[in-house]
Structure 1
Amino acid sequence: MGAAEPQASLLVTPRPGTTSPWSTKATDILRNCGLSDVERVERATLYSFSAASPLDAATLTPLLPLLHDRMTQAIVDDAALLFERVDPRHLQTIKVIEQGRDALASANREMGLALADDEIDYLFEAYAHQLQRDPTDVELVMFANVNSEHCRHKIFNASWVVDGQPQDHSLFSMIRNTHAVHPEHTITAYSDNSGVIEGHEAQVFRPDGDGFGYRYSPRSTHIICKVETHNHPTAISPFPGASTGVGGEIRDEGATGRGAHSQAGLCAFYVSHLRLPEMPLPWETQITDHPSRLASPLDIMMEAPIGGAGFGNEFGRPNLLGVFRTFEQVVDQRHRGYHKPVMVAGGAGLIDAEQVEKLTPRSGDAVIQIGGPAMLIGLGGGYASSMDTGSNQAELDFASVQRDNPEMQRRCQELISRCAELGSSNPIRSIHDVGAGGLSNACPELVEDAGAIFDLRAVHNDEPGMSPMEIWSCEAQE
């Protein structure tokens, strides 16, 4: 019996205006094979559907989230859209001089900047009275990123009171207190992308500096260690959220000193009760206020550990340790728990002693970005961490989740490692990873003691329609 004729079809492609990682690799392969006339090759997936009853758009709509990742893919009618070029969007200004403080409040809501009232007051005073000009969207997004919970740890650094008794230390100073009391054997703490612990001299297998030979040579080698969280992205989209959490932690280790490399990792997940459909447990009472667009604890634990481990495997760093727990408690008639999960990524690696200290950039130095191209992905990942769970607009929440590219990150690490292995000839003076806030965070931190001029249109960009703010602040450069 022959197959039924399809009644409907959906064509899933990379989002028009972008170039997928697959396209980049496939195009390179074809050109290396001598097909120099190939400008670009892309791939798409056509889904065809047949059913006993007629199919229409309303019937297929529930399937859309299952068939494509709306951050990197789109459902289109014409594949030719993939190869159309669009003009770049312009720099935007927020009309503070004309509309007053309300203009900043509106921008805060519409852009999901997570600015508190006192921060809006501060910006209004700065632009309306001191600078006497309108701010640009670039400036507001940079402020929101740098001032976010992710970057400044405002909650961790806040004073707090327990049973009416003010505490001597903030949560963050309690963490730092261990090092303050016992700084022995610590080379670097709380001042670089990773901590550095005193190691010892060892025989390391490195290039001999002449051709492609390797040999053992004695090097003074220290231990690097890092732990960070990636909670908000994992809550919104568990697999890529955990995957890019691991990727970001690995980048932090690689960007320690003048170049290091990670060797082993860990992941931890703290979520609310799983509520397994086949095995309800007596303490798992029903929650009515779980934000609908946040992934359920069960979905997180089905997808996020695979995302974290998968990035490590594809990058070439194993996860050797994991932690998992669930917790909920009713307090004052409200459910408390890890509805917004805690996703922890950590790791340890090695750094040569002579590469621990970053050098100050000099006049004439080049600022070089390595990694993947800019795309409209991960916009607002820094300041989205400052939002109350579920209070951001759904589209802004989803847009703040990065997408992984472990193969590209592995290439970057190989370059960093080869430079660091040159010892005193290492051409890297200072290095920083591109994480929350994208280039808008990484580049200013890199050149804060020297200053620099950046040409945004020179940034490797696979989405030419992006505005200056989007190029400067997206988090796609894995």
Structure 2
Amino acid sequence: TELMMFAQANSEHCRHKIFNASWTIDDVDQTWSLFGMIKNTYQQGGDNVLSAYADNAAVMAGHTAGRFYPSPESQVWNYNNESIALLMKVETHNHPTAIAPFAGAGTGSGGEIRDEGAVGRGSRPKVGLCGFTVSHLNLPDHPRPWELGYGKPSRIVTPLQIMTDGPLGAAAFNNEFGRPNLAGYFRTFEVATSDGVRGYHKPIMVAGGYGNIKVEHVEKPPFEAGAKLVVLGGPAMLIGLGGGAASSMTSGSSTEDLDFASVQRQNPEIQRRCQEVIDRCWERGEQNPIAFIHDVGAGGLSNAFPELVKDGGCGGDFELRKIPSDEPGMSPLEIWCNESQERYVLAINPEDLSEFEAICVRERCPFSVVGEATSEQHLRLGDTLLESNPVDLPLSLLFGKPPKMHRTSYRALPPTDDFTGEVPISEALERVLTFPAVGSKSFLITIGDRSVTGMVARDQMVGPWQVPVSDVAVTTAALDTHLGEAMSMGERTPVATLDGPASGRLAVAEAITNLLAAPVQTLEDINLSANWMCAAGHLGDDAVLYDTVKAVGLEFCPALGITIPVGKDSMSMRTQWDDDAETKSVTAPVSLIITAFAPVADARETLTPELKRDEATSLLLIDLGQGKNRLGGSVLAQTYGKLGASVPDVAADDVKALFNGVKALTAAGTILAYHDRSDGGVLVTLLEMAFAARCGLNVEIKCQPEQAPAVL
């Protein structure tokens, strides 16, 4: 039992050893760790950040408005005028989504919702997002010329099955929990290069969103010895064993039965009941009975309870048989280490326990007092049935600092090719418009609720014909105000195959240009979640990762005045298997998924891509690429099975100038419609605006005929 607990608590998934490592690149020792460079954005800015790197989600300052919740005494619902802090989190659930997409993506969304509800001394999730990156779909009845037919290992499902079942799993959890899903992305990428096949047989599945918390509940103060240690939520079951360790490994390097054993199952109803308990607690303000709260994720209770007492400044004495269980035949290891979902662990002071129990009974939410906090920094798990102590060790042994990892890498030449974009424009347009990253995302959007809460001001669908082209998601801060909160996404992972730092800058810039559709007041109001993926140790990818983090954390974000207070890393993005006598592998490029969050002014002033058909208007292109029209890593190149050579890039000064210009023009009422240039270039941007308005366009772009595909 102790060894299994160690395996989860000290996995890359939980300890982030690579991001905390020291580095040598091209035989030169580097000054910064990866995490140090991310924290630099907070040290250089972070003025509106209330909590960073210390909790289940980051927290930033928000608006003051009337939160609508009941009085604890009378149960009468009223508006409560107060400061409403904005919390943000984006998680990844890549490994289980490759094995069982519905359950993997569903529990990914559910786990991220728990993160949002377990901030400070209790908080409330509000809106969600969901994104996927997979290898090519290989539709049986619609083969496309860019598809490789490279195959896959038997233990993972096809990209098509991921994109059929995964979004349904995520949508099911959000729908049944009662959270609108307002943003996301979908990309396919798979290309044969001189360095091997690059793609996403191990997919990216991101789940995120934002919520709210009372300012007085943001901090998690230590609790005293004698506090009751409680598990809130569903029972233990024999599902999800070893998820933390399994997700830290290259796909295919573990045994197939262990891969399947690590996948969890979801129960949104129980999580909704848990959230109602948490809501009734934080609504009490200073009388909140929750002294400390932590969600249960990777490693199950074997990770959550030790983290709870460590972070609370105590030790813990637990009784195994007090853990609610639906499978009486489980061993002590299985009871302690299973990752059954929809659970939280809490510290409740003894004098508040009766009130907490009454709330749980009222909300019909299961709970159990499993242990008690001790003054000695020691962890004991007793078993009255077998009359033994499956766990009996000092906390310092479990959480003591391991030897610091050191990484050595060498920069390698990128796998460029001869793609120049000189292709027939009609053929190029047909290919680009049918490429999944460009095509309609309606099938991913309409499966999810987009209006629950009554505070949604802008979802994915635009205009009277509900075309899915919105750049940003926006809600009001509360029911009695038009002041809002917004989020958007940005990613340019294929570009990283050729130039990692450029892909990082493009991801940040895309998130900002998307968010700019909402009335963000200053660049400094924006905070980012950065989700990093990499096949650690593969060729020169470690060096690409280091250079990309440096470009974003030390250079680009500080130049913009933007902070990255939260994120996640997944360092095992490689799939390897044997196909007869041949060893095959598919390796993801260094991948950065950026999500931008900000409080905004009047949510009704959010711009959309819908053109105004009844006015004589002009279309203006603001080109952050400065007319260079570089095609490296573009969708156009990918539709011909290529990457190209020279990649697009962006400068921080240009992003600043765009932000200030759009803000000034919006204030003057000059801008009637707005859309960022993204996958597919200018032509797709124009077409999406025309689709939203159902109108034609008269466009003049000066270039030579052979330059048209690149320019457009």
What is the TM-score normalised by the length of structure 2? 0.46
1:420 aligns with 2:273: no
Match for residue 265 of structure 2? 403
Match of 1:311 among 169, 173, 179: 173
Partner of 1:467: 331
Superposed counterparts of 1:316-327, under 5 Å: 316-327=178-189
Equivalent of residue 386 in structure 1, options 230, 248, 269: 248
Code of the residue aligned with 2:11 in structure 1: it is S
**Measured at CA, do residues 291 and 155 of structure 1 come closer, stay the same or move farther in structure 2, by a change above 3 Å?**
farther
| Pick aligned residue for 2:118 from 240, 245, 255 | 255
d(CA) in 1 for partners of 2:191, 2:41: 30
Three-state SS of the structure 2 residue aligned to 1:429 is: strand
Displacement, 1:174? 3.5
Letter in 1 for 2:90: V
Superposition deviation, residue 311 in structure 1: 0.4
Contact 2:121/2:291 (<8 A) preserved: yes
> Tell me, what secondary structure is at the counterpart of 2:59?
strand
**Aligned counterparts of 1:216 and 1:374: Cα–Cα separation in 2:** 38
Q: Which residue of 1 aligns with 2:430?
A: none
3-state SS of paired residue (2:235): coil
Cα distance in 2 for residues equivalent to 1:343 and 1:170: 26
Q: How far apart, in 1, do the equivalents of 2:54 and 2:201 lie?
A: 32
Match of 1:281 in 2: 144
The aligned residue for residue 45 of structure 2 is 182
Q: Match for 1:457 among 321, 342, 349? A: 321
Give the letter aligned to residue 318 of structure 2.
Answer: F
Q: Residue 139 of structure 1 corresponds to which residue in structure 2?
A: 2
The percent identity for this pair of structures is 59
> Any conservation in 1 of the 2:72–2:280 contact (CA below 8 Å)?
no
The equivalent of 1:341 in structure 2 is 203
Instruction: Choose from 1, 6, 13 the match for 1:150.
Output: 13
- Seen in structure 2, the aligned counterparts of structure 1 residues 216 and 323 have a Cα distance that, compared at 3 Å, is same
Moved more, 448-457 or 148-157: 148-157
Task: Output aligned runs, 1:27-176, within 5 Å.
Answer: 138-159=1-22, 168-176=31-39
The DSSP-based 3-state class of the residue aligned with 1:291 is coil
d(CA) in 2 for partners of 1:217, 1:401:
41
Are the counterparts in 1 of residues 264 and 341 from structure 2 also a CA contact under 8 Å?
Answer: no
CA-to-partner distance for each residue in 1:241-267, whole Å, 9 max, x for gaps? 000000000000100000001100001
Q: How does 1:163-242 map to 2 (within 5 A)?
A: 168-242=31-105
Question: 1:114 aligns to what?
Answer: none
Greater CA drift, 277-286 or 375-384: 277-286
For 1:437, give the aligned amino acid.
G
CA-CA distance at 1:270 after TM superposition: 0.8
User: Distance between the aligned counterparts of 1:163 and 1:395, measured in 2?
Assistant: 40
Distance 1:408 1:203 in 2: 28
Deviates more, 1:352-361 or 1:222-231: 352-361
| Post-superposition CA distance 1:340-370 (Å, at most 9, x none) | 0011111100000111111212121101111
* Post-superposition CA distance 1:407-441 (Å, at most 9, x none): 00000000001000000000000000011000011
Alpha-carbon distance, 1:292 to partner:
1.5
User: What is the CA–CA distance in structure 1 between the aligned matches of 2:16 and 2:189, rounded to whole Å?
Assistant: 24
Classify the secondary structure of the residue corresponding to 1:262: strand
What secondary structure is seen at the aligned counterpart in 1 of 2:85? Answer: strand
In 1, Cα distance between equivalents of 2:38 and 2:167? 27
Q: Distance in 1 between matches of 2:328 and 2:16?
A: 34
Task: Give the conservation status (yes or no) of the 8 Å contact 2:266–2:341.
Answer: no
The aligned amino acid for 1:247 is G
Q: Is contact 1:253–1:260 with CA below 8 Å preserved after alignment? A: yes
Moved more, 376-385 or 211-220: 211-220
| Cα distance in 2 for residues equivalent to 1:177 and 1:354 | 26
- Does the CA-based 8 Å contact 2:298-2:339 persist in structure 1? yes
Give the deviation of 1:168 after TM superposition. 4.6
Paired AA for residue 190 in structure 1: Y
| Contact in 2 for aligned 1:273/1:326 (Cα 8 Å) | yes
Deviates more, 1:177-186 or 1:453-462: 177-186
C-alpha separation in 2, matches of 1:154 and 1:283: 37
- The residue type equivalent to 2:220 in the other structure is K
For residues 313 and 147 of structure 1, what CA distance do their matches in structure 2 show? 34
**In 2, distance between residues paired with 1:291 and 1:165?**
38
Match of 1:465, SS state, is coil
CA distance in 2, matches of 1:329, 1:153: 29
Counterpart code for 1:279: H
Question: Are residues 1:447 and 2:309 paired?
Answer: yes
Conserved 8 A contact 2:89-2:210: yes
What's the secondary structure of 1:430's corresponding residue?
strand
1: CA distance, partners of 2:110 / 2:331: 26
Matched residue type, 1:383: A
Q: Aligned letter for 2:293?
A: I
| Counterpart residue identity of residue 263, structure 1 | K
Change (3 A) 1:173 1:465: same
Query: 1:419–1:426: 8 Å Cα contact kept in structure 2?
Result: yes
**Once the 2 structures are TM-superposed, how far is the Cα of residue 167 of structure 1 from its aligned partner?**
5.1
Q: Secondary structure at the match of 2:133?
A: strand
Q: Deviations over 1:115-171 (max 9, x none)?
A: xxxxxxxxxxxxxxxxxxxxxxx1111111011121122334445566666655444
Structure 1 residues 141 and 426: CA distance shift in structure 2, 3 A: same
Confirm or deny that 1:295 pairs with 2:166. no
Question: Contact 1:259 / 1:419 at 8 angstroms: preserved in 2?
Answer: yes
CA distance in 1, matches of 2:276, 2:283: 10
Q: Deviations over 1:157-195 (max 9, x none)?
A: 445566666655444434333222211100001100000
1:67 maps to: none
The size of the alignment, in residue pairs, is: 340
* Residues 291 and 389 in structure 1, CA contact (< 8 A), matched pair in contact too: no
Q: Which secondary structure does the structure 2 equivalent of 1:454 belong to?
A: strand
Indicate how the Cα distance of structure 1 residues 294 and 169 shifts in structure 2: closer, same or farther if over 3 A, else same.
farther
CA distance in 2, matches of 1:278, 1:167: 51
Deviation digits for residues 430-468 of structure 1 (CA, Å, limit 9, x no counterpart): 000011000011101111121111111110000011111
In 2 relative to 1, CA 309–169 (structure 1 residues): closer, same or farther, beyond 3 Å? Answer: farther
Single out whichever of 290-299 and 223-232 deviates more from structure 2. 290-299
Shift of 1:333: 5.2
- Distance in 1 (CA, whole Å) between partners of 2:262 and 2:25 is 34
* Partners of 1:257 and 1:355 within 8 A in 2: yes
Aligned CA-pair RMSD: 1.6
- Counterpart secondary structure, 1:257: coil
